Structure 1
Amino acid sequence: MLTLHTWTTPNGRKIPIMLEELGLPYTIKTVNLGKKEQFAPEFLKLSPNNKIPAMEDGGLTIFESGAILTYLAEKTGKLLPPNGPQRYKVLEWLHWQIGGLGPMLGQAGFFAVRSEQKAPLAIEHFLNETDRLLGVMDKQLSQHTYIAGADYSIADIACYPWVMAALDKLKPALADKLDNKPHLQRWIKTVGERPAVQRGMALPKVD
């Protein structure tokens, strides 16, 4: 039985989506970030960078969402080609999300929404970078059904919760910048209609 330690953030919802897609049995242990549970000694043994998600599979522990997605894909032979050029297309877009889309949306959300002290230059910079990255997605999706090509993959799973967070938290700040990206809008609808994505986005369930 897999044990997933996670919370209700974009990174935290990637792995529930993946597990629901794969149909693997698993349990969730919530790590309440608001209560600083990510700094608890028992969690730091799993994730020394005090970040969610982390996963246990028998005696193996893995932290970092990209590593967990890759592990689960290779464990099951699904959602990541085993070899060849298409494998690396999936991996490059997975790493694009980890290194670009996620961090920039996170910074945009902090400076434009959550920070009590507003820094106009920082807000402008991170909103512009968010718009640029969403534009990169829109261009890629104008040529392909999914972010890495014709097939749904772990790259889509990695990107989707972050795009939905942008739509939820940053839509007022981004204004009409989301309306001129029709291919991204099509992808959001296509991925969002997947039952496993809907179930995964609702996890973890918290009171």
Structure 2
Amino acid sequence: MITLHAFANMFPGGIGETKDIRIQWALEEMGLAYEVRGLDYLGGEAESPEFSAISPFNQIPVLEDDGLVVAESCAILIHLAEKSGRLMPADPAGKLKVIQWCFAATATVAPALSMIAMVDAGFMGKDPAAREFLVGIATRWLSGLERQLEGHEWITGDDFTTADIAMADVLREIRETDLMDGYPRVKAFYARAFARPARQRARELTAARMGVALDQIA
């Protein structure tokens, strides 16, 4: 049985921003049977010895799958795709391309976008020079995505994959800015991805689990 360790609660500014939703989205897309164990984050459960034993950095989400433990959202997405045989091509070249773009989303694109979101939220101070620097990096990544999306709807081609889940969820960080406005393919990709029924189910399930109104989950 698959168990997703996810957030049961979060401080107000973090509600709707957590990475567990991208895993639940993938599970809903793949049609895999799973259960969710909500962790009392505000109560310190993520720092408990029990959770430390399965999460190297005490980070949520973590997936357990019949004795196999997987941390890090990118690794979880890849594992689920391989297990289900969905959202990942069967041929080695196609599979490697999807894996490449999963890592591109979480290791290359995400850091700058996350820091822009933190600057805008005031967590790092409202330093215009720092934001300008980060926007310069983000522009480079968004330009690359715009090129990558030329001629097809999804990141690696015509089929929706785990790379699209990873990338769309990363782009969520800048949804309240105008940074995607100059990149029409990226903006359309983001809208297509988030309109998928499985994403909407994951959103509803996340809101119910955290006991918040649906409009608090992006």
Q: What TM-score comes out, normalization by structure 1 length?
A: 0.88
Report sequence identity in percent: 32
- Look up the SS of the partner of 1:178 in the other structure: coil
Aligned equivalent of 1:3: 3
1:63 counterpart (68, 71, 83): 71
The 1:6–1:162 alpha-carbon spacing in structure 2 relative to 1, beyond 3 Å, is same
Equivalent residues of 1:111, 1:119 under 8 A apart: yes
1:191 counterpart (184, 190, 193): 193
- Look up the SS of the partner of 1:148 in the other structure: coil
2:21 maps to 1:13: yes
Deviations 1:137-157, CA, capped at 9 Å, x for gaps: 222112322011121100001
Equivalent runs, 1:69-84 vs 2, <5 Å: 69-84=77-92
Equivalent residues of 1:144, 1:150 under 8 A apart: yes
The 1:95–1:206 alpha-carbon spacing in structure 2 relative to 1, beyond 3 Å, is same
Gaps of 5+ in 1: none
Aligned equivalent of 1:180: 182
Aligned equivalent of 2:169: 161
- Look up the SS of the partner of 1:50 in the other structure: coil
Deviations 1:130-171, CA, capped at 9 Å, x for gaps: 232222222211232201112110000111122123103xx1
Gaps of 5+ in 2: 8-15, 212-218
Equivalent runs, 1:47-196 vs 2, <5 Å: 47-115=55-123, 117-168=125-176, 171=177, 175=178, 177-196=179-198
Counterparts of 2:18 and 2:157 in 1: how far apart (Å)?
Answer: 22
Decide which moves more: 28-37 or 84-93: 28-37
Equivalent residues of 1:104, 1:130 under 8 A apart: yes
Equivalent runs, 1:21-40 vs 2, <5 Å: 21-40=29-48
Q: 1:112: how far off?
A: 2.7
Q: 1:58: how far off?
A: 1.8
Equivalent residues of 1:10, 1:165 under 8 A apart: no
Q: 1:32: how far off?
A: 4.7
Q: 1:36: how far off?
A: 4.1
Aligned equivalent of 1:206: 210
Bigger RCO (CA 8 Å, 6+ sep) = 1
Counterparts of 2:125 and 2:82 in 1: how far apart (Å)?
Answer: 44
The 1:45–1:129 alpha-carbon spacing in structure 2 relative to 1, beyond 3 Å, is same
Counterparts of 1:34 and 1:97 in 2: how far apart (Å)?
Answer: 28
RMSD between superposed Cα atoms in Å: 1.9
- Look up the SS of the partner of 1:202 in the other structure: helix
The 1:116–1:100 alpha-carbon spacing in structure 2 relative to 1, beyond 3 Å, is closer
Q: 1:65: how far off?
A: 0.8
